[in-house]
Amino acid sequence: MRILVAGAGGLVGRAVKEHCLAQHDQTFSYTHETLDIADAASVRTTIEQVRPDAVINCAAWTDVDGCEIDSARAHAANANGPENLAKASRRCGAVFVTISTDYIFDGTKEGFYTQRDDPNPISVYGLSKLEGERRAQRALARTIAVRTGFVFGTGGRNFLSTVVERGQRGERLKTISDAWGTPTYAPHLAARLRELAERDLPGIFHVVNSGAGASYEEFALAALEAAGCDQANLETVTMRSLNRPAPRPSNSRLKCLLSEAIGLEPLPFWQEALAAFVASQKKADKAGIATQS
C-alpha cells in the first residue's frame, strides 16, 4: 500500500512508520515540522502530491494539561487536524485512519467502555479528540477512528519508559493508585492500525492489549518486576493529590465490540506486551553500550 503517516515523530507515529516499512509499504512519513495537520492548505497539497491509498493520523497535541490551558491550540491540532486530513483523503480516494483516546469517556462506568457507551469528555483534551473523531467522520464516511489508551513503547518519554529507566537507576518513583486503563503497546497498535486501513471497514474501533486492564500502580509494579528492579522504590499517590489542571477519568478501560466480529485476532495480553517492551529496552541499552566501546 501507499501509506501517508502524519505525526510520525511521536511514540505511535514512529511505530507505525517502522511497521509500514517492514511490510514493504511505500511509506511517506511526516513529522510536526514537515506537516502541520492544523494547516488545511498544507494538508491538501501534501496529500494531493503523495496520492496515498491510506492516511494514518498519529498526530495530536497530547499534553493533557496543556490542552486545558490552551483550548484553541488543542482544537486546532486535535479537531481541525483530523478534519483537514479526512477532507484531503476524500479528495484523493484514500481511506483515513485517525487515533482517538479513552479520555473521551468520563470514567464513571465500572468495567470496560465499548462503542455502546456515550462519550462524555471531562477535559479539553478529551473534548477536542472527540470533536476530531466526529468531524473526520462527517468529512469522510470512510473514516476509521481508533480509540486507545495507556500507550507505551520504545523511544521518547512515556510513562513506562520513565518507570523502567528510573527503576534501573534505583530512584524513587511516584505512581497513581486510583486510575485504571487498558495498556497498549505501540508496535501492536501500529500493526492493527495498518490492518484496519487494509480492511477499509469504516467505524469506531477500540484497540488495546488484551486483559483486565491495570491501574498505573499495577502497571508500574509489573514493569519494575519485568525489568528486575526493586519495587520498594514505588510510592503511590492519588490522582486528586496531584492537583493537575486537567481532570482525568478514573476508569478508562476499553473493549472492542467489532474487532473479533470481523475476524481480527485479539492483541496479546498486556503482560506479554510489557515483557516484549522490557526486552526491547534491554536490547537497545546493550546496543548503546556496544557502540560506545
Ligand X SMILES: NC(=O)c1ccc[n+]([C@@H]2O[C@H](COP(=O)([O-])OP(=O)(O)OC[C@H]3O[C@@H](n4cnc5c(N)ncnc54)[C@H](OP(=O)(O)O)[C@@H]3O)[C@@H](O)[C@H]2O)c1
Closest distance of CB 121 from ligand X, Å: 12
- Of 110, 220, 98, the closest CA to residue 148 belongs to 98
Which three cell numbers, joined as nine digits, stand for 88? 484531503
Q: Give the C-alpha distances (Å, rounded to integers) separating 236 from 111, 129, 160.
A: 22, 29, 15
Helix, coil or strand: residue 125: helix
Q: Which of 30, 103, 113, 125 is catalytic?
A: 125
Torsion of CA 135, 156, 188, 58, to 10 degrees: 20
For 135, how many CA atoms within 13 A lie in the half-sphere containing its CB? 20
What is the rounded CA–CA span in Å between residue 204 and residue 132?
12
Interface with ligand X by CB under 6 A: which residues?
A: 6-7, 9-13, 32, 35-38, 58-62, 77, 81, 99, 101-102, 129, 148-151, 156
Neighbours of 32 (CB within 10 A): 17
Closest distance of CB 62 from ligand X, Å: 4
Nearest position to ligand X, beta carbon? 10
Closest distance of CB 290 from ligand X, Å: 27
268 backbone dihedrals φ, ψ, rounded to 5°:
-55, 160
Residue with Cβ nearer ligand X (33 or 232): 33
Residue with Cβ nearer ligand X (34 or 238): 34
Cβ 116 vs Cβ 257: under 8 Å: yes
Residue with Cβ nearer ligand X (143 or 232): 143
Closest distance of CB 208 from ligand X, Å: 9
Residue with Cβ nearer ligand X (30 or 278): 30
Cβ 133 vs Cβ 83: under 8 Å: no
Closest distance of CB 3 from ligand X, Å: 16
Tell the residue number behind the cell numbers 476499553, with chain if given: 254
Residue with Cβ nearer ligand X (27 or 148): 148
Closest distance of CB 79 from ligand X, Å: 11
Instruction: Establish whether 113 is a catalytic residue.
Output: no
186-199 vs 11-22: helix crossing angle, rounded to 10: 60
Residue with Cβ nearer ligand X (38 or 227): 38
Which three cell numbers, joined as nine digits, stand for 59? 498526530
Calculate ∠ Cα 106-147-193, nearest 5°.
175
Q: Which residues are catalytic?
A: 125
